[in-house]
Amino acid sequence: MRSRSSVPMNGDVLAGKYRVERVLGRGGMGVVVAATHLVLGHQVALKLLHSDGAVDEEGSARFLREAKVTARLKSAHVARTLDVGQLEDGRSFLVMELLEGHDLGDELASRSNLPIGEVVDWVLQACEGIAEAHAAGIVHRDLKPANLFLSLDATGERVIKVLDFGISKFAADGALTSSET
C-alpha cells in the first residue's frame, strides 16, 4: 500500500493473501476493489474502510454489522460475505463474492421501456433475498435500485443480488442509526 489513506493500487497485496486487480467503486466510507486470493485463485470483491479518519466508531460498527448480517444469509439473491478482517494499517475489510454486472439504477437509466415480466421477476428475486433477511430478524433499511445488482448466475441467467446491509437492523437489537440518519 502507498499510504494509510491511499486507495489500493493494482498489484498491491492486502492482508497477505489478496492481490488487487482493479478498483470497482468508491464511496463515503471506503472503496471496493476486485482482487484474487493468492493461494486459492478465487476472484473476490474487497470492501475497505477509509483510513483517513472519515469513518467514525459508528461507521466501523455498521461495517462489522454488514459482515455479520450478510454472512448469515444464504439466499442466491444476497451478495455473500466470505471473510472479514483488518489490514496491517488497521483498516477493516470485508471479502465478498465478486459480481459481474451493474446495479438496477444503471439498468433503469439505460433502458426506457422494461418488459413487465422482466421487472416482476427482478422484484420477486429481491423479495426472496429480503424475505430470508426478515426471517432472520434483519431489516435492510436502504432498499433502492442502486442496492439491487443485476448479475449472472452459473447458468447465465440474470439474477438480482441485494447489496449493502450497512445500515440494517436486527429486530432484537437496539438501533445503530436514529430516525434522522
* Annotation marks residue 12 as catalytic: no
The CB density around residue 74, as the number of other CB atoms within 10 Å, is: 9
Q: Three-class SS string for 131-146?
A: HHHHHCCEECCCCCHH
DSSP string covering 24-46, please?
Answer: EEE-SSEEEEEEEETTT--EEEE
- The whole-angstrom separation of Cα 101 and Cα 79 is 13
Length reported for the chain: 181
Catalytic residue among 12, 83, 121, 142: 142
Sign of CA dihedral 38, 39, 40, 41: positive
In sequence order, the β-bridge partners of residue 45 are 34, 96
CA dihedral in degrees (149, 171, 56, 16; nearest 10)? -60
Confirm if 27 and 50 have CB atoms less than 8 A apart.
no
Q: Provide the residue type at 153 as one letter.
A: D
Active site residues: 142
